[in-house]
């Protein structure tokens, strides 16, 4: 299963620089937060887009299990 950041890059939702910036923020936090939540908070993606891509991830996981 691809990581959500990879999906965003492949589909040109984010640039590599934007993803790297969000990952850096995620690593710096004392309390870990999901990457998608950070991306929404930064205004880089919408909540609806996040849900859509999580759905894509889950469908890919289901297919790989079958």
Query: Alpha-carbon distance 6 to 65, whole Å?
Result: 20
> What's the average model confidence in pLDDT over 2-27?
97
- List strand residue ranges (DSSP E) for 1-55, in order: none
Token pair for 6: 């990879």
Note the pTM of the prediction, 2 decimals.
Answer: 0.90
| pLDDT single digits (tens) 24-55 | 999 999 999 999 999 999 999 999 999 999 99
CA R_g for the chain: 12
Domain boundaries, the chain: 4-65
CA atoms within 13 A on the CB side of 26: 16
> What's the average model confidence in pLDDT over 6-11?
97
């Amino acid at each position: 299963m691809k990581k959500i950041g990879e999906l965003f890059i492949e589909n040109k939702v984010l640039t590599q620089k934007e993803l790297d910036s969000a990952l850096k923020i995620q690593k710096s936090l004392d309390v870990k937060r999901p990457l998608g939540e950070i991306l929404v908070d930064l205004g880089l993606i919408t909540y609806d887009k996040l849900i859509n891509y999580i759905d894509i991830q889950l469908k890919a996981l289901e297919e790989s299990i079958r």
